[in-house]
Amino acid sequence: MRSTSQNRSPSIRWRIRLSGRCRLDMTAADLTLDAALSEWSAQYGDHTAVTDGQTAWDYRQLYEKTLVLADLLRKRGIVRGSRVIMQMTNTVWFPAVFFALSRIGAVPILCLPAHKELVIGGICRNAKPAAMIFTRRYLKFQYEEMAQNLAAQYGCAERLFFEDEFAALTSADADAALERERAVTDLPSADDLAFLSLSGGTTGIPKLIPRTHRDYLYNARVTAERAVLSAESVMLNILPAAHNFALGTPGIIGTLMCGGTVVMQKYPDITEFFANVEAYGVTITSLVPALVNMCIRYRNLFDDDDVSSLRYVMVGGAMFRPEEAEAAERLMHCTVIQVFGMSEGMTFMTDCDAPEQVRWHDQGKPSAPEDEYRIVDADGNDVPDGEAGEIIVRGPYTIRGYYENPDANRRSFNSEGYYLTGDRALRTPEGNVRILGRVREQINRAGEKIMPAALEEWICRSENVLECAVIGVPDAELGHKICVYAVTEKPMTLQELNAFLKGEQVSDFYLPDLLRLTDALPLTPVGKVDKNELLRMLEQEERS
């Protein structure tokens, strides 16, 4: 996959330790995403940068495609400061378009394939895009009509692109386009807005999260170091590339930064996932727990794929139970790196060489030495180690506010500049963070406080339960009833579930009041269980 030539210039500011582990010089903090890709192109040359099974580009080819795309987009009226809706799938064109827009100084708004017209229309009203880039179809959904409607509604019809057009559009006059683009000198700076990502909430229109070139490169750098990425790393991207986890934590950018190879998998198919691990010699991947559980079930049935190259599986985005971590390591022959991160910035990770107790139970420590966090009670006072509270964070790559949203800023940041995550956590005696769930998910049942994550963990100890989610249902007498949605191997009654929980010595006030069996739990666009949708499902059931 890679040539043996190193092609490294002494002037390059990115350096690799003798051990091969990625270690980047702080002078890289002055680079933009485009300038960084230019240096990686000079440094890594004909090493394979990205492939999607149909097309493969080395570092020079990726950068040249970026330049040709930048010239094309400029000619179509995209300029510095233009906001661009970008809803693309996992192909080689995603990083090429992303870096091309960053070179222009335009601001891509990274939408996930799961976002449809209601959400994207709301984003358009807030961000007023100048252009739009879409896929035509994905997982049986036809995006083309939606894209045309949005483009007409928001004045982008002349600057509407589809990802399957770029191969043809960049093949004509490529040499002249390269010459024109290399002559451009009006380029963005490191502190300019690089892109807008979307908050991972489950209600309303997502908030827009502003990331600069400087902070996002640093984000990718420190997480790449913690994941011990190197020029020998092969990162398999099965999560949507617009997801923060897949893009830069360390994701695509962190892998390219270290000279590795990114394999873009378009569809979330587990059979294809393991085929790609074997075919490309994948060494690391990032998954949400729902995908990990699919991998576990697959490997319990089929274990003939060669996964010997796979060293690390990074897991984040939702609660991850210790037994799931143990099963993933045992069946996938890898080391789990737990990740607690947020599109707003700060990322906690377990170390690659952490003991099992830490890897399976905790979410690690902050990625950067400058990161700060506190665990506080409802009054904002720090709680002792071992006690639960809300985790609040600030640091060099954590945002100071949402884009054009003062109301959300007042709710989400305190006077000291800490971002209020809304996540409930504790600090272990070893200094690791352990995430316990969402502060606002706490269920108050007849005065007793129930954390859904704790009950979910107990329920999933049953061999019959594959997945579950616990929600609080408003009730006039109790305050809330406890409702469980579960995916099971065979039918289960509420009485059977509660008998199991009693056998596990679970307190009576934790026993569920309602049980609903389902084939699958609904997920948000970023792969978290959509508990608001579960509540809507229950309300609809009660109305019918």
Instruction: Please state the rounded mean pLDDT for residues 493-518.
Output: 92
Identify whether the C-beta of residue 111 lies closer than 8 Å to the C-beta of residue 88.
no
Domain residue ranges of the chain, discontinuous segments joined by + = 14-223, 269-438, 443-543
**CB-based burial label for 21 (10 Å; 0-12, 13-18, 19+):** middle
What's the pTM value of the predicted model, to 2 decimals? 0.84
**CATH architecture, domain defined by 14-223:** 3-Layer(aba) Sandwich (3.40)
Q: What residue has token string 């099974």? A: 53
10, pLDDT greater than 80 = no
Lowest mean pLDDT among 236-240, 373-377, 410-414, 474-478: 474-478
- Residues 215, 399: Cα–Cα separation, whole Å: 9
Angstrom distance (rounded) from CA 114 to CA 366: 30
CB 209 within 8 A of CB 344: yes
Is the model more confident about 505 or about 190? Answer: 190
Both tokens of 462, joined, read: 């049953």
SS3 393: strand
CATH of domain 269-438: 3.40.50.12780
Which tens digit of pLDDT belongs to each residue from 127-178? 999 999 999 999 989 999 999 999 999 999 999 999 999 999 999 889 999 9
Q: What is the mean pLDDT of the chain?
A: 92
Give per-residue pLDDT as tens, 383-435.
Answer: 999 999 999 999 999 999 999 999 999 999 999 999 999 999 999 999 999 99
Strands 443-445 and 448-450, sheet pairing = antiparallel
Q: Which two tokens stand for residue 336?
A: 């789990």
What's the confidence (pLDDT) of residue 4? 31
pLDDT at 6 over 50: no
Average pLDDT over residues 258-270: 98
When computed from its CA atoms, the radius of gyration of the chain, rounded to whole angstroms, is 23
Contact 25, 13 (CB under 8 A): yes
Instruction: Give pLDDT, residue 29.
Output: 63
* Band (204; pLDDT cuts 50, 70, 90): low
59: enclosing H helix or E strand: helix 59-75
State both tokens at 275. Answer: 């085929």
Instruction: Cite the DSSP H helix spans in 106-227.
Output: 117-127, 143-153, 166-169, 174-182, 213-226
**Separation between Cα atoms, residue 226 and residue 250, nearest integer Å:** 9
- Residue 502's alpha-carbon distances to 137, 216, 436, 470, 514, in angstroms, are 48, 48, 22, 17, 16
DSSP symbol at 447: T
Beta pairing, strands 443-445 & 261-264:
unpaired
Q: Which helix (H) or strand (E) holds 481?
A: strand 479-488
Number of Cβ within 10 Å of residue 132's Cβ equals: 25
The answer to whether 269-438 and 443-543 have equal CATH topology is no
> CA torsion, points 259, 263, 264, 267, in degrees to nearest 10?
-160
CA–CA dist 339, 287 (Å, integer): 10
419-427 and 389-394 strand pairing: antiparallel
Q: Which CATH class is domain 443-543?
A: alpha beta
Nearest to 170 by CA among 72, 101, 77: 72
Q: Is-contact 422 438, C-beta < 8 A?
A: yes
**28 has a pLDDT exceeding 80:** no
Tell me how far apart the alpha carbons of residues 390 and 376 are, in angstroms, rounded to a whole number. Answer: 5
